[in-house]
Structure 1
């Protein structure tokens, strides 16, 4: 069901059963299909200021990764990049899409590439935003959590919350207001949220993108690489390398933007995507 966008609320009302659990999703607008895939430690809230622009010309499909936002991984399912890519392939089949455009941020970039290259899902175009593809790409903070996972799992929840709150604020270049920070942190609140956070941290590894990197030179679909020029999590030079590795890829920098470029400069991100998607007409 296609729904409108309420300015004061963001939520994904649809629930879709997949092999790895239950996915929260939502569909907006009319036109050629575009699927948005967020990364870590975000959820679909990341796209709320981009969706209204894209829906001027496209049907936009938004979902929370398994273990993120309002989606739930089934018991025993690790929310790895490989699992998320398989889930995206299932969603594309569920929605009845043929060769949609895929947009991925952070590990979402690795997910959409793996969906195309490993799951063999045809795509119309690809957009990679501050994408975790060329490894090793885990930040020092993520590596520290993986190394001392038990310490992070057993520390008091309020202390853990303070740590990840401080970390979240480094994802942006512009100051993040309290309401926005609260929305990003909501899925990770309390002991349950702490466990969910560490479940995804322990599952995220660049080994899931090694076979993707080996096939980057086989990509023939139009590809856009967007990068926040002030990204402190994944250096902009990584975007240069990724662009060079994909035949014919184009690249643009988003000014005054950090890793969460859709927070810092949603206007330029949305219009860059709209222009790119509109420049690759369907046959």
Structure 2
């Protein structure tokens, strides 16, 4: 498990983060429905060569979760910008997955962040995206938030599995589920789904042009995008 011992207050939200290693800076931005724990086996492999910064997006993982919270993509790029400033980073290398890819792109095109390089994989970047399940939760968030815990756990496990081609181990399911259970976590899980809105990628899609750093776009041969129904990979 990655340790996130630090807390920064950004736009009224407590954001948890950690760092390890020594060397040129590398920022890892997780996607949904996970947390920075998606990097738990990757970050330790990099710490001998890089100073790795990782964090939980607002409303995710160990970061603060509360009723009425804005956890949409609209806030995540501003949080990333604030963290860059706090960490004193100018042009770090960035690796970003899923919603983390959208966050990195929004921060670049809307907030003027600059990167030494950018690697995005399975990124939410182009319309259309948002599965029928996402649309259903958006219409009935309260009903899902209040369902019995055993029903929620079953749905959560099934949802997590749609993000992976191979079966997730029991350990992985437990790690990825942990933030999303209980009186705080369960409504937070449906809150972040209910706030998934394509307009936040529509806002920047028309701005995409050649970036002033090396860019690597990864999309797995067996990546179907089923849980988000993203439709197609982003190609420069």
TM over 0.5: yes
Whole-angstrom distance in 1 between the partners of 2:154 and 2:67: 28
Contact kept in structure 1, 2:225 and 2:231, CA below 8 Å: no
Contact kept in structure 1, 2:73 and 2:103, CA below 8 Å: yes
Counterpart among 211, 214, 218 of residue 226 in structure 1: 218
User: Moved runs in structure 1, 4+ residues, more than 3 A?
Assistant: 73-77, 234-237
SS across alignment from 2:219: strand
Aligned twin of 2:107? 115
Counterpart mapping for 1:128-139 below 5 A? 128-139=120-131
Counterpart among 43, 47, 50 of residue 55 in structure 1: 47
* Length-normalised TM-score, structure 2: 0.92
Whole-angstrom distance in 1 between the partners of 2:128 and 2:231: 14
* Length-normalised TM-score, structure 1: 0.78
Q: CA RMSD in A?
A: 1.8
The structure-2 alpha-carbon separation of the partners of 1:26 and 1:199, relative to structure 1 and needing over 3 Å to count, comes to same
SS across alignment from 1:128: strand
The structure-2 alpha-carbon separation of the partners of 1:74 and 1:145, relative to structure 1 and needing over 3 Å to count, comes to closer
Q: How many residues align?
A: 234
SS across alignment from 2:209: helix
**Cα-to-partner distance string for 1:92-123 (whole Å, 9 max, x where unaligned):** 00000111122211111000011111011121
Aligned twin of 1:186? 178
Contact kept in structure 1, 2:5 and 2:17, CA below 8 Å: yes
**Structure 1, unpaired ranges of 5+:** 1-8, 245-283
Aligned twin of 1:153? 145
Q: In the TM superposition, what is the alpha-carbon distance from 1:238 to its structure 2 partner? A: 2.1
Q: Which structure has more RCO (C-alpha within 8 Å, separation ≥ 6)?
A: 2
Counterpart among 180, 188, 196 of residue 196 in structure 1: 188
Whole-angstrom distance in 1 between the partners of 2:38 and 2:26: 15
Whole-angstrom distance in 2 between the partners of 1:236 and 1:192: 28
SS across alignment from 2:71: coil
**Structure 2, unpaired ranges of 5+:** none
The reply on whether 1:238 has 2:232 as its aligned counterpart is yes
